[in-house]
Structure 1
Amino acid sequence: MTFAVRPRRRKGTVALGVLTAAIAATGTLITAPSPAVATTTSDVRLAQTDLNGLAYSAGAVDGNAGARTKAATESFQSDRCLGVDGLIGPQTLGGLRSVVKQVQVKSGATADGTYGSGTTGAVKRYQRAHHLSADGIAGPGTMKSMGITRVVPACHTSSALRTKIVRIAKSQIGVTESRGKCVPGKPYNVCAGWCAAFATWVWRDAGVRIPYMTYVPSVYDWAVAHGKWVGASRLSTAQPGDLIIFGHAGYRYHIGVVDHASGHSVRVISGNTSDPGGSGRIGVYDKTYPLSSSVFYGLVRP
């Protein structure tokens, strides 16, 4: 199990019992990077207007980036292969304007990137002409009719790959570590906290292009940089084959592979994990946890 505190020597695990001492010794706590975000309420209003017009349900256009707007933004970001953080930064705002302009061109509205009343009227006329429900909102059906890509396929993983990831992870269940946290003969043997080594090896073995990493926060940093991160507010979207990170922004301490999620629980296959049978052994096990932000920080999409 690897913690979010980086020790002086990069040897991997910091034991939970000495976490406080490690913070005091290093003075370093890894936190999430701060993405660029919209600085004006007018930017937020524009985003809310466009999100609503594209059927992402951002709620009232009030310039307040609250929970509903954040969830809508995350859905749009996920569909467009952007970094999923729920924040309305320049990239997200530009992506919204770009999609709205495509809708405007197809419907005959002025292509200014703002989903105003003129665009709503033009989309209604388009919908009536094409025998669609004339609500003026460019949802999935309307965009499909217009020939506009709503969900960019490049970052949405096939079910076959997800099945392969889970199968590889399950093939290691029951592997246990020896003294010194070593896993002799295994490609994820680092003789230190090896949950990140196990998780990234599983993905690499399944054909996912990800570096081999031994430090949980490094996996998070990679996911953010490559648009693969899904925050805690969207844990309910967990799918088999995702990586799931335990903890919170300042304390990302463990990682595993999602076996499956159902309702408010998730089964996770992870290395450097205690035997749920109570034997005291540490190894690869498939365990059930509450699918909650009190347990998990977020997901990494393959």
Structure 2
Amino acid sequence: MSPTVDHYRIVPSLTVPGFASETLKGIVSATHAAVQANVDNLGAGTPSRAPKFVKLLQDKKIIDDQNQSIATTDHNKTVSALQDIKASMDDNDEGVDNSIYGTYSVAGDAYEDIERAVKKLQGTINDAPAPSIDTTTGKQYWPESVEGPLRTACATTAATVEQQMLDAATDIQRHAYHINNSAPDNPTSSGYGGTTAPLTQPWSGHSYVAPTDASTLDKIKGFAENELGVAEVGTNHVNRPYNIDDAWCASFATWVWKQSGIDVHWNNKNYVPSVWSDAANQGLADSNMSSARPGDLVVFGGQNHIGVVVARNGNTITTIEGNSGDAVRRHTYTLSGGNFTGVIHPPATSKTAVPA
């Protein structure tokens, strides 16, 4: 790492014994450079600009698409490739704007996880078996059976760090969204053209158990309706499984789906724009509100809020929404007059429009 770079935080060192191969030394050195570049981008609040080290290793056929080390007979070529990769990591790091280090509080939390991953890698190296002895030269060495898994451990650590960066990028975006007052913490239906049924009683205190013969739609309705009346205790805290101590409408909606057997992958199930983007990529998002039907998730205008559709009556839908006025509430909207981004259909749901 260039000594002229002003790091956000210094990544713990990674060392290997002198008898390790040049290939292993190269991947360990490059891994450390990549992690340091990721950390510095994190500290500057630009995690999306962090280098894609794992992809470079895959492109150079140093690891496969499962991040497993690929044995090579051309060690000189591999070492040269690793030197090039490390140089690109250093170049990325030197381009980080260190004048804004520490702008985002989320960086400190993510750094702790990254530091643990690096220390775990060093522990794996330290715990490797004793070296073998070359009977011809008398030199110590680690056979491929040892070095292969160590190279894999480097790739695994790098992949873990890159996932931390993806998570941090989403968190930074979400926090910035809140700072700019773009995402109301406790939206009410009136802001989207709807009406709210009165919250006449608190949550029952009992969890819903679906009948054995319940359909997926019955489960969605059952789980959502059972939560009516759940209210915050303090700021953005609910004593339910979907609590995240932050704006929780998306967590609630995806929890209802998951409890009902719909377990789709969102990169960040707690952030509405991320859910909508992932749904679009998976072919589940639909901006045509005439296709809204019970069981869908409805995303409101500005992608600031999300709810569960539990009924459709002509041009009207009924929803149950978490984090709406600090509680789980039931709402009614006229499709033609509401403020919507669109709906997200469950994977097995037809997108044929429902007759108005």
TM-score of the superposed pair, with normalisation by structure 1? 0.44
TM-score of the superposed pair, with normalisation by structure 2? 0.38
- Greater gyration radius: 2
